[in-house]
Amino acid sequence: MTESDERVAPTLEEVARVAGVSRSTVSRVINDMPGVSKRAKEAVTEAIATLKYVPNQAARSLVTRRTNSIALVVSEQGDRVFGDPFFAGVLRGVSAGMAQHRQLVLMMGRTDQDEAVANYLCGGHVDGAVVVSLHGHDTLPKRLAQAGLPVVVVGRPLGDIVVPYVDSDNMSGSLQAARHLVELGRKRIATIAGPEDMAVGIDRLVGWRRGMSEAGRNPDLVVHSDFTGAGGAAAMAELLDRDPTIDGVFAAADIIAVGALQTLADRGRRVPDDVAVVGHDDSILATSTTPALTTVRQSVEELGRSATWRLQAQLAGESHLPPSVLLPTELVVRGSTLIRT
């Protein structure tokens, strides 16, 4: 055993002695509390660096009543979370946006079916939560807010839940997709909509229907899918069975579009010659398909970053914060709608 292995970690009292201040002054500096002169703060900071003192997080939490942790709660099962690029993007954004908090607690599972998630979050383990992918009238955000835990939702919550949220302009994005297919001269335009129990599925369907209405088209070719490739493939097959003359499709997510493209290939339909396809998200999947996918771009990482900013601003006591943040979307045209002459 070396001498460094036997060395005892420096204590708060040693920091106070080296800095020439009281123990309570050191505590106030460490916990960023008021009532400390600039000179004393500099002395404590120098002593901490000299002694290589590491504050005891448990003791600090008792003083500040903060855990220095926030939770990212994804209301989906693990296979969905790790199989969809959307969640990886949100996670990167949340991680990048964590300025004051050092620890991120990732929780997965259908929160409308699991009491343990709410019990943990309300048990003083985290300072706040970012909740993603709510289904139906999930009461988790409302329960957290009522328990006094700051919460921000990624995606517009359904029902009477009044909590801050960050979302993309899904209606505008799907409207752009619908208008693009109409402008291409496509006559029978279908949509593979997202889940009916999620605002994202509802809002993107509303935008597509508006586009069809503007063009005087009958918005009857609708099949819902979950956000999986298998779901998209099955939905595309159902649409083709219903109407083999379909020549345009808006899929509510790139991962759905991937499945739709596979079914079209299996049925001998050329993309974009026979059927033009538009997705949504502009995820990594959009450039991995053949042809590359025309899609509606949303900044998934910015969703996570903005949600984390909103949560941390609330924790910091900032006033006049917006109740919601709506991020822009834009159409990105690629080979799945572009016929080369």
* Per-domain residue ranges of the chain: 12-55, 69-168+301-327, 170-298
CA pair distance 254, 293, nearest whole angstrom? 8
Q: pLDDT tens for residues 17-48?
A: 999 999 888 888 877 777 889 899 999 899 88
Strand order in the sheet with 248-251: 222-224, 189-193, 248-251, 276-281, 294-297, 330-332
Q: Which residues contact 19 (CB under 8 A, 6 or more apart)?
A: 25, 26, 40, 43, 44, 46, 47
C-alpha closest to that of 177 among 299, 338, 332: 332
In CATH terms, are 12-55 and 69-168+301-327 the same topology?
no
- Please list the rounded mean pLDDT of every run of 10 residues in the chain (341 residues): 55 88 85 82 90 66 65 88 91 87 83 78 90 91 91 92 95 98 97 96 98 96 97 98 98 98 98 98 96 97 96 91 96 93 57
Q: Look at residue 57 in the predicted model and tell me its pLDDT.
A: 54
Maximal CA-CA distance, the chain? 84
CATH dotted code for 69-168+301-327:
3.40.50.2300
CA pair distance 58, 121, nearest whole angstrom? 17
Please say whether the beta carbons of 329 and 169 come within 8 A.
yes
Q: Look at residue 123 in the predicted model and tell me its pLDDT.
A: 85
Q: How many CB atoms lie within 10 A of CB 326?
A: 16
CATH topology for the 12-55 domain:
434 Repressor (Amino-terminal Domain) (1.10.260)
Residue 64 phi/psi, 5° resolution? -85, -15
Q: Look at residue 56 in the predicted model and tell me its pLDDT.
A: 59
**Secondary structure element (H or E) that encloses residue 172, with its range:** helix 170-183
Q: Look at residue 100 in the predicted model and tell me its pLDDT.
A: 60
CA pair distance 159, 139, nearest whole angstrom? 9
Q: Look at residue 116 in the predicted model and tell me its pLDDT.
A: 84
CATH dotted code for 170-298:
3.40.50.2300
Residue 322 phi/psi, 5° resolution? -70, 140
